[in-house]
Amino acid sequence: METEAFRVISTTTIQARSCLINGDLRQQIDLNPWDLQYLVFGYAQKGLLFHKPSSSSSLKHTQTVIQHLKDSLSCTLDFFQPLAGRLVIVPNGGDDTLSSVFISCNNAGVSFVHAIVDNTTIADILEPTCVPPVVKFFFPLVTSKNFEATRIPLMAVQVTELVDGIFISCSMNHCVADVKPFWNLLNTWAQISRNGLNHVASDLKLASFERWFPHDNIERPIRIPFKKIMENYHKESTNSLQSPQFSRRIFHFEKDKLADLKAKVKSEVQDGVISNKISSYQAIVAHVWRSVIRNQNLDPEEEVTYIFHVSARSRVSHPPIEDNYFGITVHFSTVTMKVRDLVGDGGRGRFALEMNKMVSSYTEERIKRDFEAWVQNPTMHEQSAIIGKSMRSSSCPRTNFYAIDFGWGRPKAAPGGPANKMMWKLAVDAGAEEGSFDIELCASYEILEALGRDPEFMHVAAPPPPTELSSKVARTRL
pLDDT surpasses 70 at 476: no
Answer for the pair 438, 430: CB distance below 8 angstroms, yes or no: yes
pLDDT band of residue 477 (cuts 50, 70, 90) is very low
Cα end-to-end span (Å), the chain: 16
Q: Which CATH number fits domain 3-236: 3.40.50.10420, 3.30.420.40, 3.30.559.10, 3.40.50.300?
A: 3.30.559.10
Percent of the chain predicted with pLDDT > 90: 71
Confirm whether pTM is higher than 0.75: yes
- Do β-strands 390-394 and 303-311 pair in parallel, antiparallel, or remain unpaired? parallel
**pLDDT 10s digits, 358-383:** 999 999 999 999 999 999 999 887 65
Q: Please give the C-alpha separations between residue 185 and each of 47, 86, 205, in angstroms, as whole numbers.
A: 13, 17, 11
| Annotated domain spans of the chain | 3-236, 237-458
- Do β-strands 425-430 and 390-394 pair in parallel, antiparallel, or remain unpaired? parallel
What average pLDDT does this structure show over 229-245?
A: 74
State the Cα–Cα distance between residues 98 and 317, nearest whole angstrom.
31
DSSP state of 262: H
CA-based nearest residue to 334, from 266, 382, 400: 382
What average pLDDT does this structure show over 293-298?
A: 92
Give pLDDT, residue 162: 95
Superfamily of structural domain 237-458: Chloramphenicol acetyltransferase-like domain (3.30.559.10)
Of 466 and 429, more confident: 429
What average pLDDT does this structure show over 192-202?
A: 76
What average pLDDT does this structure show over 140-160?
A: 97
Give pLDDT, residue 467: 36
Answer for the pair 360, 393: CB distance below 8 angstroms, yes or no: no
pLDDT band of residue 434 (cuts 50, 70, 90) is very high
3-236 matches 237-458 in fold: yes
Residues designated catalytic: 174, 405
State the Cα–Cα distance between residues 474 and 477, nearest whole angstrom.
9
State the Cα–Cα distance between residues 87 and 72, nearest whole angstrom.
24
Give pLDDT, residue 381: 74
